[in-house]
Chains A and B, each alone.
Chain A
């Protein structure tokens, strides 16, 4: 289901082949890699298109990021925030990085329904979002910051460092002890965390919460027409979740 469950994860593959992740442009190599995994009988891969035309999810792709490397940094950061465990998939397995990419390409990324007129001032802690950066700019800024921090501290890209090392950087972002341009790192971290949870639990129509696995873990039934016949029951109801998309087909 997730990268770590594959025979060889993309990260492991990149490490062992010695190809710098940043040189990966486009889907060619990734496609080949996933095809390799699929042939091993692990076809349930949520994060990348397969090489086989029939298996490929051609409705999914990057709308915002232009460099696979930036997407990879984002993916690893979200996975540390919401990791795979015995309960089920983590952020990558749930398609969270695609969810975020797709959102950044739209109203969310351009703050289309928010007040973005100047003048801009830093503002006090109770005054909220005051940066002139849009979320799209903020994410790019944050991703580059995480990567620079990883290079500075560990001599490698954020996507290639160990989990604990990623946590160290994320913790410092959260604690606001890393400098970012135009915004505080704590603010970026908060945004990253919120976006990760949104991608894990939004209706699957937004390209996260793959196969409703987020809802299944949490016991949330998604779109149900009515609970009028269960509301008075003492016992807990485990209900197969439904997506709002069933109302549209």
Chain B
């Protein structure tokens, strides 16, 4: 018999960026908010031993314990889906702050084009630019409508940057802090791209260039360029993450608490409303019911989708019939790039997760696609995040992967290699989707989420195009030898690629093609909100966090409206 706790106004499932933002805003507005976090409490004081590549980057200290839960994966419906037994292609978070603890901090707003991609693409290139197998759709909200929330999130983070990119949408205010240090290798990229006629700018960075106090009164420190960001927590509190911003802001109100070791397994419903959630106390095995007036799913996009599926909320997408919305529009990203080998030694081991420069000359619809066999594009960046010796063993492709020659070349090139890389946009395809696995279960007996995904023709064409551009930039940077990445093969879940998984719980104006409305309120269950990159209808050529945070701020506003008048917010 499950134990039932006292009812709260708002419960969030997961406490990372989105859970933290919802908590801070709702608690400030006087609501009683509770966060349920399956992992542990942690914060800056836990990261003093973080300069340990093996523990954190290779053995995934801060990430999800897959022995308890993972996903299953197949490239297509004909294949048998099998569990992702080890972490690889993407890094799922766990514990306070979630993936917001171990992110790099590259924080771009999406383009105005992204939000109206279908309308804009058809207007410019006609209805048949992409085949109807691609399910692109407008997001139901424009960049201008989302702008104030981007602004809000950037001020919470103290984002460091410069507003010099001619391709961005209009900003209502400048970056809260100046860009990071434009060190020599960045200048090399800047000069090369300028010489090629492009428009380089400093990556908007959540590793802060200077100390900053945010509007909630949280204090962030200045980045020390120690080279341990991605896969690590920041021992200086210099990387904007939930534990140093929105979570303390929520706690300060006295209206917020967090229950740790609470793994939510079901969203409880009665009619068209949710009554709360059921969770397992992972330490005692006990079942607990947390009643709430409003339930907000704020875990990673995969777990958000899974919880809706196991709770039978919404209609599962079926690739055969094209019916259903839940699990549809799953997208990822592609990573075209070029490696350059240089003669001189460079300080490649110094850096910060978002210390870099980018060009958008081949991103979004910033260039003419009339004669191209794809839409959208990729940001092209050089980022000096700090090379580490286990993960970085660059050798030219004619050198073997082990033995005397490998040792010599990988040591020689550790401080003599630079990478220019693209983050290529990903378009939804009718064959790429999320569902429940019929065979495999998590530790609590709940089915695993199943991912059916492969790269598409659009991905291959874009990859080829952007690879050439990155080679061109690297050659201009003066590499004695440049190697572009090989052609895009089948999606492989083993090598790390990107933790920019999107879709599955997409947003929009039409319940036939979206799971939630533009306040991320579920179409069928009015007091249930689903927040995260799962709301994206496609993935842009950028990191997703700024858009995730902006949507969360807008949702927090929606929850306050809902508390006042109830019903659908649209």
Contacts and interface: CB of A to CB of B under 8 A. Distances in A.
Do A and B form a real pair? yes
Interface centre among A81, A117, A248 (most CB of B within 10 A): A117
A128 B79 contact: no
A219 to B, nearest CB: 5
Given A85-B407, A130-B82, A130-B85, A226 B225 contact: yes
A113 B411 contact: no
Contacts of A82: 402, 407
Given A117-B83, A119-B439, A206-B54, A236 B346 contact: yes
Interface residues of B, number: 64
Contacts of B441: 117
Interface stretch (A67-75, A144-152, A196-204): A196-204
B48 A83 contact: no
A227 B66 contact: no
Interface in A110-126: 111-117, 119, 121, 123-126
A225 interface: yes
A20 interface: no
A220 B403 contact: no
A119 B73 CA distance: 14
A237 B492 CA distance: 38
B209 to A, nearest CB: 11
A115 B85 contact: yes
A228 B389 contact: no
A248 B49 contact: yes
A167 B494 contact: no
Contacts of B224: 225-228
Contacts of B415: 218-219, 236
Given A115-B83, A202-B54, A230-B347, A85 B404 contact: yes
Nearest to A119: B439
Contact of A232 (B181, B344, B346): B181
Contacts of A58: none
A236 B107 CA distance: 29
B54 A113 contact: no
B80 interface: yes
A6 interface: no
A55 B97 CA distance: 46
B533 to A, nearest CB: 23
B88 interface: yes
Contacts of A127: 73-74, 82, 493
B388 interface: yes
Interface string B55-87: 100111000011101100111000110111110
B490 interface: yes
Contact of B85 (A129, A221, A223): A129
Contacts of A119: 439
A129 B88 CA distance: 10
Contacts of A111: 67, 85-86
B390 interface: yes
Contacts of A237: 347, 350
B183 A231 contact: yes
A114 B67 contact: yes
Contacts of A80: 402-403
Q: How large is the interface on A (under 10, 10 to 19, 20 to 34, 35 or more residues)?
A: 35 or more
A87 B67 contact: no
Interface string B34-66: 000000000000001101111100111000011
Contact of B51 (A125, A129, A222): A222
B374 interface: no
Interface string B156-184: 00000000000000000000000001011
A53 interface: no
B interface SS class: loop
A247 B345 contact: no
A63 interface: no
A25 interface: no
B135 to A, nearest CB: 23
A227 B85 contact: no
A108 interface: yes
A222 B226 CA distance: 10
Interface centre among A82, A113, A200, A244 (most CB of B within 10 A): A113
B488 to A, nearest CB: 13
B141 interface: no
Contact of B86 (A125, A129, A201, A244): A129
A157 B23 CA distance: 63
B494 A218 contact: no
A237 B88 CA distance: 33
B414 interface: yes
A97 interface: no
Nearest to B73: A127
A139 B344 CA distance: 39
A52 interface: no
Contacts of B225: 226-228, 231
A198 B407 contact: no
Per CB-CB distance, the 8 closest pairs between chain A and chain B, nearest first, are: A202-B54, A226-B224, A201-B389, A227-B350, A223-B51, A236-B345, A126-B492, A115-B70
Given A125-B492, A197-B390, 17 more contacts: A87-B411, A107-B59, A116-B85, A119-B439, A124-B75, A128-B85, A130-B85, A174-B401, A198-B54, A202-B58, A214-B389, A220-B387, A227-B225, A232-B183, A236-B346, A244-B49, A247-B49
Interface of B: 48-49, 51-55, 58-60, 65-67, 69-70, 73-75, 79-80, 82-86, 88, 181, 183-184, 222-227, 344-347, 349-351, 387-390, 393, 401-404, 407-408, 411, 414-415, 439-441, 490-494
17 contacts: A111-B67, A113-B60, A113-B67, A114-B67, A114-B85, A116-B85, A119-B439, A124-B75, A126-B493, A127-B73, A201-B53, A220-B389, A221-B349, A227-B227, A231-B347, A237-B347, A244-B51
Interface of A: 80-83, 85, 87, 90, 107-108, 111-117, 119, 121, 123-130, 167, 170, 174, 193, 196-198, 200-203, 205-206, 214-215, 217-228, 230-234, 236-237, 244, 247-248
